[in-house]
Structure 1
């Protein structure tokens, strides 16, 4: 737990939240400024700053909770789609530095717009070069 983390305070019960689901390892609650009806945060009860600092012990319960809550959102609101969003670092718009995932129900014409900017593609051979760079850097020792 972190004394300065809003999500740790919610986990501890010292800050209120509209909780919708909870397990031994996770908590799901509504954000203060939801993007759509049903927008829900899935948060680890263990303070880890972001995806790059997490391991399977942290991520597995989060994904299990995300699946369970996403099914509840589907039954409750019948959305046309759903975004599962995680941001790691300020450049990716992370504003609370405690690992969490957003479940954002989506409807056609909901006004959120395209999630990805238009791209121009890659120069010949660039995709292969990028793929090779990622392959060389994948952690194969089982730590994540």
Structure 2
């Protein structure tokens, strides 16, 4: 029974300082259709300048696998400057900025915690490894030679 109660609770996103002072930490899922709608909304408001990548979206819409959105600042009263992250079918990734109203942002579904953990692991795996120290290289070469390699 506690599992059911726990699953109904909404995740409390932390405030983060990566993008600016106490930015929202929410990460939201977007559909292609929702991104198109938000891109049109930006184009109709002359005060909003981060209008996504409308041409790219039209070219790539059928190749988009995953879209996520997070806040990295404010662009005025009631408007967030967001970063859209896209993963294409070929596993390539890109990002771009988009201004989104606070109301629109709040209506988008949160990325589930399991997907956040997967995203974190993909990020951590992407760190380049350091080269071995000279003594470690020497030891590795000796070990390799003694094993017949």
Between 1 and 2, higher relative CO (CA 8 Å, sep ≥ 6) is seen in 1
TM-score normalised by L of structure 2: 0.27
TM-score normalised by L of structure 1: 0.28
Which structure is higher in helix share? 2
